Amino acid sequence: MFTTAGAWALSLIAHLGRAGAFIAQTFYCSATPPLKFRLAVKQIWFIGWKSIGVICLMAMFSGMVLALQAHSTLRQVGAEGFLGPLVAISLIRELGPVLSALMVTGRAGSSIAAEIGIRRNNEQIDALELMGLNPFRYLVTPNLLALLVALPLLAAIFDVAGIFGGYLVGVRMLGLNAGTYFGEMGSYVRMHDILGGLYKSASFGLLVAWVCCYKGYFTQPGARGVSAATTQAVVNASVLILACDYFVTSLVF
């Protein structure tokens, strides 16, 4: 039993060390030229632009259900007027950053891990190295930059669409006054909430890029290797997003 525990601990340490070296190399390549802007823009288009539709849809329903649930509780204490701030603050501080990050992990994170994994198996990463080119600059840094830009923007779009969903249910369906819904929101939501949400999103962007690129980069050979890397990337990134959410929340708010 001790042998198993020891082997597990050693492999964990090796894993963490490799992941640490991986992110250090990524930071180095992100901070030094040549930066591959064109690749980063392409990834922003893929990760950000192509996710907007699904993010809006998800946000609308989240806002709608939030308004529906909150309204019945608030009505019991006669505080329906606070529906707007409640929906907005929940979305801006918590649901927007977290749900958009989870959605991007499922949609783009899996594809990043699979693409890098297949490039590894097809020896394309070796080919880059032999040309004297750093594979991180082509495969990892563009994804990190794209996620750092795209995730906060997607979270902001999520917030807006979610607030609109809450408006549809709270105002249009349940008859709350539109002025109350938006007016109270204006007086309760602070800049600090908005910035905190954006910081969260950026930290999730870093996390998704790190986990998904790392898993793809060190994939095992064959179709099973790539499929395992993709699954692990999505599962690990999703769990880490929620864990990181707790720590960032306790630090920022």
Partner 1 sequence: MALVGLSGCGKSLLLKHLVRLMDPDRGRVLVGGNDLASLSRRELEATRSRIGYVFQNSALFDSLTVYENVAFPLREKIRLSKGEIRRKAMSELEVVGLEKAEAKYPAEISGGMVKRVALARTLVLDPEIVLFDEPTTGLDPIVSRAMLRLFASVHRQRALTGVLVSHDIPAIFSIVQKVAMLHEGKIVAVETAENAHASRNPVLAQFVNGEPEGPIGYLESRGESDMRALPLDLEHPVKNTS
Distance (Å, rounded) from C-alpha 66 to C-alpha 163? 10
| Stretch binding partner 1 (CB under 8 A), from 13-21, 128-136, 159-167, 182-190 | 128-136
Q: Which of 28, 123, 242, 243 binds partner 1 (CB under 8 A)?
A: 123
Q: Please give the single-letter amino acid code of residue 183.
A: G
Toward partner 1, which CB reaches closer, 72 or 126? 126
Q: Which of 126, 190, 242, 253 binds partner 1 (CB under 8 A)?
A: 126
- Residue 15, CB half-sphere, CA atoms under 13 Å: how many? 9
| Stretch binding partner 1 (CB under 8 A), from 2-10, 60-68, 121-129, 150-158 | 121-129
Distance (Å, rounded) from C-alpha 237 to C-alpha 253? 23
Toward partner 1, which CB reaches closer, 22 or 188? 22
CB 163 within 8 A of CB 88: yes
Secondary structure letter of residue 93 according to DSSP: I
Any contact of residue 175 with partner 1 (CB under 8 A)?
A: no
Toward partner 1, which CB reaches closer, 45 or 61? 45
Distance (Å, rounded) from C-alpha 148 to C-alpha 117? 22
Contacting positions for partner 1 (CB under 8 A): 122-124, 126-127, 129-133
